[in-house]
Structure 1
Amino acid sequence: MGWLKRTSHPTVNHATSEDIPKPTSAHIEHIPSGTAPLPRYPAAPLSTPDAALQFIPAEEIAKRTSAESGGLLIVVDDIVYDCTQFLSEHPGGEQVIRSFAGTDCSWQFWRFHGKKEMQEFGRPLRVARTAGAKNRFKEPPRYIGLRRLGDEWD
């Protein structure tokens, strides 16, 4: 255990308090990268009808996948929602929303949510409308009504 023993050598200069660098608030995370961050889209007032929302092209929405890129946007039925602040509140967890960042998730959304949730939680997150946003996953077919109801139910 001799290698753990601390000894001083007469020729070694020990640092004084003046030699120790002072901490600064300049961190590597705050060094400008040369590109300005994308601006966030403001939430639309609750009274604004969906048809009156501003239009954002689907290509622009695809770039918005995190807070650093101007907000995490998702699309449900051609309406754009900024879910950046809602991530930590989502009952299904953050990863569910993150997996659809910048894309359409309409059929997945409606499989787990109803109109009441959309009015209560979704409407305050609306920022715009769009067209042409792609869903990465093909919707599986749902088979409903394979049997025909007829006279045999007397």
Structure 2
Amino acid sequence: MSESFTAKQVAEHKDVDKGLYIIIDSGVYSLESFVDEHPGGAKILKRVGGKDASKQFWKYHNEGVLKKYGPKLKVGDLKEEAKL
């Protein structure tokens, strides 16, 4: 079963030591095991750690990349938070 995360929980995982998480659309992905394999380099992943990286991801990747790597990197989904 997939875990649910708030944006605040994802933000706590902003570096490799804390488990580098990013958000793509509504999915939460753990990248600490992938950071050294990323063809664009580790620096770009570390820059978006703990944040919603959807805009940056879709700018440089197509749907095939998410289909290929998503299943092994996805750790959960983003919870919908109440808007006050």
Class of the TM-score when normalised by the shorter of the 2 chains = 0.7 to 0.9
Higher helix share: 2
SS in 1 for 2:29: strand
Alignment of 1:24-103 (within 5 A): 53-69=2-18, 71-103=19-51
Which of the pair has more CA radius of gyration? 1
Give the aligned partner of residue 26 of structure 1: none
Q: TM-score, normalised by structure 1?
A: 0.49
Q: TM-score, normalised by structure 2?
A: 0.87
Give the aligned partner of residue 29 of structure 1: none
Q: Distance between the aligned counterparts of 1:85 and 1:104, measured in 2?
A: 19
Higher relative contact order (CA 8 A, sep 6+): 2
Q: Distance between the aligned counterparts of 1:96 and 1:86, measured in 2?
A: 12
Length, aligned pairs only:
80
| Runs of 5+ unmatched residues, structure 2 | none
After TM superposition, which residue ranges in structure 1, 4 or more long, deviate above 6 angstroms?
Answer: none
Higher strand share: 2
SS in 1 for 2:20: strand
Shift of 1:131: 4.0
Give the aligned partner of residue 105 of structure 1: 53
Amino acid at match of 1:92: G
Shift of 1:124: 1.0
| Runs of 5+ unmatched residues, structure 1 | 1-51, 133-154
Is 2:66 the counterpart of 1:126? no
Give the % identical residues. Answer: 30
Alignment RMSD (CA, Å): 1.4
Shift of 1:121: 1.5
Q: Distance between the aligned counterparts of 1:110 and 1:96, measured in 2?
A: 14
- For residues 53-91 of structure 1, what are the alpha-carbon distances to aligned partners after superposition, in whole Å with 9 as ceiling and x for unaligned? 22111111101122322x100000010000001000000
